[in-house]
């Protein structure tokens, strides 16, 4: 016999909306175009910020890609802080997390460019710089995420939610 709390199906997990409310009908589940539009709008905003940063600080072939590094690290810092406020401090909102987290920060950060930059550095024979950039970005981005969470929890006076 399976305990009732263990009876979680893919359908029950997928049928949750961003706010955590249960979607009751298949018809309603397919009407989430509004969330997709919000994500797209946020992506346009975040992508615009990324474009502006790349215009102000262009990447020079064979040199450390500072703009991409700053975009990803800053995005991770803000995402860590944002999730604390969205999940633990502010009232739930159907559109805040998709717009800000997935859209704006997803459009601003660029881990595909990060891998392309690493590949370009390797092709240019800059192996030590490529490895420093590749592993350094991972370490600093993870540390930035943790720092964002820590600073947001400190500012909001919250503690981690129990599991």
Q: How confident is the model at residue 61 (pLDDT cuts 50, 70, 90)?
A: confident
Confidence at residue 160, expressed as pLDDT on a 0 to 100 scale: 74
User: What are the domain boundaries of the chain?
Assistant: 37-156
- pLDDT tens-digit profile of 85-128? 999 999 888 899 999 999 999 999 998 999 999 999 999 999 99
Which element (helix H / strand E) includes 123? helix 111-123
State how far the Cα of 78 lies from the Cα of 85, in Å rounded to an integer: 11
- As a whole number, mean pLDDT of residues 43-51 equals 97
Taking each helix axis as running N to C, give the angle between helix 111-123 and helix 127-156, from 0 to 180 degrees, rounded to the nearest 10.
Answer: 160
The DSSP secondary structure of 28-80, one letter per residue, reads: HHTTTHHHHHHHHHHHHHHHHHHHHHHHHSPPPTTS--HHHHHHHHHHHHHHH
Look at residue 133 and give its three-state secondary structure.
helix
Q: What percent of the chain has pLDDT over 70?
A: 80
- As a whole number, mean pLDDT of residues 43-63 equals 94
For the chain, the maximum distance between any two Cα atoms, rounded to a whole number of angstroms, is 62
Comparing 2-6, 17-21, 58-62, 84-88, which segment has the lowest mean pLDDT?
2-6
- As a whole number, mean pLDDT of residues 135-151 equals 97
Is 14 a residue whose pLDDT tops 60? no
Torsion angle of the four alpha carbons 37, 38, 40, 41, in this order, in degrees rounded to the nearest 10:
120
């Amino acid at each position: 016999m399976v305990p009732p709390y263990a009876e979680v199906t893919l359908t029950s997990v997928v049928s949750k909306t961003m706010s955590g409310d249960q979607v009751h009908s298949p018809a309603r589940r397919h009407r989430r175009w509004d969330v997709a539009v919000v994500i797209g709008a946020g992506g346009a905003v975040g992508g615009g910020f990324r474009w502006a940063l790349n215009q102000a600080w262009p990447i020079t072939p064979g040199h450390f890609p500072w703009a991409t590094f700053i975009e990803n690290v800053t995005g991770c810092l803000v995402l860590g802080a944002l999730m604390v406020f969205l999940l633990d401090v502010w009232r739930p909102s159907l559109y805040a997390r998709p717009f800000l987290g997935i859209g704006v920060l997803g459009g601003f950060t660029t881990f595909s460019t990060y891998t392309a930059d690493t590949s370009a550095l390797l092709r240019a024979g800059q192996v030590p710089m490529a490895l420093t950039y590749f592993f350094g970005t991972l370490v600093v981005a993870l540390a930035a995420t943790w720092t964002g969470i820590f600073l947001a929890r400190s500012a909001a006076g919250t503690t981690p939610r129990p599991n």
